[in-house]
Amino acid sequence: MAEKTQSGLAGRLQQVQTTLKRVQTEGERVVDRLRKDATDLLSKDRKRAVQDLLSQAQKLRSDLQKRAERAVRDIEERGQKIVTALEKQADKSIEPIVRRLNMATREELDKLKKKVALIEKRLEEIATGSKAA
């Protein structure tokens, strides 16, 4: 009877060992599958993360470009205002000097040019009128 019990125990032990080997094999398969799935998920997450980073970089580039363009426009406008202010200041500063030198201003020269042109036109009319008579 003791032999039957031992052989029964040995058989059961054999069954338990076989079952444990199957469980171990199946567990290894599950772990391998989990590893593969995790790697796939990480790869997808990494791709998504890279895409997100690229998208953010493009937005940042666009924003920086817009800011740079605005800054250039502002600088150009300020520069133009400064030039205009300097020209006005120069005109104001030069006008008294020109008066002291007793020189004609641009406006006065323009008026004189118009008067000379009118006089030349009248002289031509008189000259053509006297040739015809």
Domain ranges of the chain: 2-73, 103-133
pTM: 0.42
pLDDT in tens, the chain (133 residues): 556 666 777 777 788 888 888 888 888 888 888 888 878 777 777 778 778 888 888 998 899 899 999 999 999 999 899 999 999 998 888 878 877 777 778 888 999 999 999 999 999 988 888 776 6
Please tell me the predicted confidence (pLDDT) of residue 23: 85
User: b/e for 98-131, b at 16 or more Cβ within 10 A?
Assistant: eeeeeeeeeeeeeeeeeeeeeeeeeeeeeeeeee
